[in-house]
Amino acid sequence: MMRERLCLTVFLLLVGAAGAAAGMKEMQLSMEALEGEGWRGRELVVEVADIGNGGFSLALNLARLVVGDSAFEDIHLGCAVVLPGDSPALNCGDGELVVAASPLGKLSARVSWSYLGAGDWKLSLDLLEIPGGKLKIHASRQSKLLLADIEASRFPLAWLQPWLPEGWSLGGTLQGKGTIRVEGQEPSSIAFAGSLDGFSWSSADGLQVGEDISLAFSVKTSGDASQWRGALEAGISSGQLYSDPLFLEAGGNAFLELATGFDLFRDRQQLLLRGLRLSYARALEVRGDLDMDLASGQPRALDLDFVLEDLRQTYQVLLQPLVIGTPLDDLVVQGRASGNVRMTGGVLTGLTMNMDRLRAEHNGGMFGVNDVQASLNWRHEGVADFSHLSWKSAHLYRIGLGATEALFKASGGSLRLQPLRIPLLGGRLMLHDLEMTGLLDGGGLAWETRADLDDIQLAELSRAMGWPDMQGRLQATIPRIHYRDAVLRMEGELQLDVFGGEVVVEGLELQEPLGVAPVLQTNLRFANLDLEQITQVFSFGRIEGSLEGQVHDLQLVGWEVAAFDASLHSPARDRRPHRISQRAIDNLTELGNGASVQLSATMLRFFEDFAYDSLALKVKLRGTTAELDGVPRPQGGYYIVKGARLPRIDVIGRNHRIAWKELLSRIRDIRFDDMIVE
């Protein structure tokens, strides 16, 4: 209201001076300074001169006017001919306003006015010198009621640049019509309908940007000093918006639309949005009510229904920018979702959501799920109804997961799953007592469970992983698995019954399991493995006997071996016969750096296999170098295979160090039937 009061003051000065000059040839009024609430002026001169026939001229000159933080220099406001009308009216049909310097540059306008007496008046202002645009204001005051009609035609928004925060830019044009109604000292109603064309803006940091936007809008509101009530409609039909990290583009069938009723309580800084409707293309539609605390910018309460008609668009536009740098930023998503979200007292109190025909596939093959049906019922407090989740097929890396249904309860920041059976590799994975926490408190997602692997078919695992065909079944019990701070840990031991013996996995830890380069660390123990089964699977050449040992400090980075300390050997008092084929001898020799076979090539041709006393191989990888060792040999070097009986054959390693890349190259050079080693 500061500017309205200023205009009224100036107008009354002119009219008052005109009235005082009645019957005089000339009159001049000078004031060194004048001021009001929020404004001040300097060097005011009002001149009145008789021009005959009852008419006179009026002129106001003000050297400087400061309104808030804005300064206006050398202001001239006047009328060459003021004529009396019906007593006590005065009329100026052709006046002018000129401002030599202002935040908007030089200003000029045509002005007409009428003084009706008793403080009533009419004023028309047609602003000129706007590049390509116009701004007209028609105002009247009668019986303490002020009405102002505003019409803009291609009004350049760049004129508002001086009032923007430092570093911001604004462009485009405004056109439309509106009305302001003022009763007493405060506006009582405002209505405006119009459009913004080529609307563009940019913040100083470049994180808030609009480009070439076409926006149609209308607003109607009425109220008093404490409360305003009204309605707002707006729609963006073309253009681009960026609000870090979200990017929206309107055009074609993609519209951004908003409609709402509202109540604004100025004294308690509260905004109520009633019947809110917000939509963007088929990515998002929201309907409901919202209570905002304007002081904090946070919602006090809300009750919103939402529909995500096309999850592909929803993911690309609204979700993907929020998960950049995580495994969720490279997905193909399809499906539909809908639900309701509620908040009370600034706290999220309820969420329901239904998903239909959801499909999500990681472009890197990390995971995927098909034909998901889900219903989520979450409550902040109290006991929530059961939620449901099912899918027809899924996979984690190359491992397929069969059709699954699950029931769970979600409340507070936790989720508790009913016992879950997942078909896996011809068998099943059973999860017990799965509980997730940290879903809402910002402390980070965590979960724990225990699991059973039942009747897993090694043949299916081999095909899925591209390994040689392995036969047999895998049974295992995992006493406890937990995930926290992006680290998956297994407590206790995982026992696998394979190759006629036992493999024990302990101390398993996986960092960033869905990251770009997961880091796996664990220890392995082998007991009573049947070498004949192993070598038949890998077509290495037949070896009969047992194998035991351990792999300590095994580390894989990005699923590639980075470090380990392995020791494999024949067990003492092995009950299985010890025989080794020529081909196996050749391949073991290939593994060693400087390894040799102590038996002539001529003799080798006469035997298909040989007896051996023991075999052993130690490999320790640190950095880029592998250290090799076996059974100590008094004459130097070490036994990889120590022979027994005649014809005796020994495979002897000479050197203890080899480049890891060289060792991998030697492994690749080994001839496996129907298999390429990579």
Look up residue 678 and give its two tokens.
């990579």
Strands 473-484 and 399-401: unpaired
Model confidence over 198-214: pLDDT tens digits?
999 999 999 999 999 99
The gap from C-alpha 419 to its chain's centroid, in whole angstroms, comes to 32
The DSSP-derived string for 527-569 is EEEEHHHHHHHHTS--EESEEEEEEEEEEEETTEEEEEEEEEE
Count of alpha carbons within 13 Å of 143, Cβ hemisphere only?
0
Q: What is the DSSP letter of 318?
A: I
Q: How far apart are CA 639 and CA 42, in angstroms?
A: 106
**Burial per residue of 367-376, b for 16 or more beta-carbon CB atoms within 10 angstroms, e otherwise:** bbbbebbbbb
User: Among residues 71, 147, 143, 145, which one has the least CA distance to residue 107?
Assistant: 71
Cβ count near 193 (within 10 Å): 13
Strands of 118-225, DSSP E: 120-128, 134-142, 145-156, 169-183, 186-202, 208-223
Full-model pTM: 0.73
User: How many Cβ atoms from other residues are within 10 Å of residue 61's Cβ?
Assistant: 16
- From residue 434, give the alpha-carbon distance in Å to each of 374, 485, 495, 514, 559: 18, 17, 21, 19, 26
- Rounded to an integer, what distance in angstroms lies between the CA atom of residue 580 and that of residue 213? 79
Note the Cα 272 to chain centre separation in Å.
27
Which residue, among 576, 583, 577, has the nearest Cα to 542 in the 3D structure?
583
77 strand-pairing partners: 60, 97
Please give, one letter per residue, the 3-state secondary structure of 402-465: CCEEEEEEEECCEEEECCEEEEECCEEEEEEEEEEECCCCCCCCEEEEEEEEEEEEHHHHHHHH
Q: What is the pLDDT of residue 174?
A: 94
Query: Which DSSP letter does residue 323 get?
Result: G
Tokens of 205: 């940091």
Task: List own/partner pairs for 119-125 with CB under 8 A and 24 or more apart.
Answer: 119/12, 119/144, 121/11, 121/15, 123/7, 123/11, 125/97
- DSSP conformation class of 319: I
Region of 137 on the Ramachandran plot (φ > 0 left; ψ -120 to 50 alpha; else beta): beta
Is there a contact between 202 and 216 (Cβ–Cβ < 8 Å)? no
Predicted local distance difference test score (pLDDT) of residue 551: 95
> How many other C-beta atoms lie within 10 A of the C-beta of residue 607?
12
The three-class DSSP label of residue 267 is coil
Length of the chain equals 678
Contact, 360 vs 368, CB < 8 A? yes
Identify the H or E element spanning 601.
Answer: helix 601-604
Q: Give the pair of three-digit tokens for residue 612.
A: 């051996």
Nearest Cα residue to 497 out of 476, 525, 469, 470: 476
Preceding omega of 245 cis (within 30 degrees of 0): yes
What are 579-629's pLDDT values in tens digits?
988 888 877 777 655 444 544 444 555 567 788 899 999 999 988 888 889
Structure token pair of residue 431: 């999860």
Query: Please, which residues have CB within 8 angstroms of residue 306's CB and are 6 or more apart in sequence?
Result: 284, 285, 286, 287, 338, 339, 340, 341
Q: Could you tell me the two tokens for 283?
A: 């990515």
Tokens matching residue 605: 């041709």
pLDDT of residue 475: 78
Structure tokens at 63: 């050297």
| Residue spans of the chain under pLDDT 70 | 1-24, 87-88, 128-132, 440-443, 539, 591-607, 668-678
9 sits in the region (left: phi over 0; alpha: psi -120 to 50; else beta) called alpha
Residue with the two structure tokens 């120590």: 642
Residue by residue, DSSP assigns 146-176 as EEEEEEEEEEEGGGGGGGSPTT-EEEEEEEE
d(CA 115, CA 419): 85
- Whole-angstrom distance between the N-terminal and C-terminal Cα of the chain? 79
Write out the two tokens for 369: 């799920």
What pLDDT is attached to residue 441?
63
CB atoms inside a 10 Å sphere around CB 167: 10
Domain boundaries, the chain: 1-129, 517-669
- Provide the pairing of β-strand 543-544 with 546-557: unpaired
Residue 14 φ/ψ region, left for φ over 0, alpha for ψ in the -120 to 50 degree band, beta for the rest: alpha
At 283 the pLDDT is 93
- 444-469 b/e (C-beta count within 10 Å ≥ 16 → b): eebbbbbbebbebbbebbbeeeeeee
Query: What is 33-95 written as a DSSP string?
Result: EEEETTEEEEEEEEEEEEEETTEEEEEEEEEEEEETTEEEEEEEEEEEEEEE-STT-EEEEEE
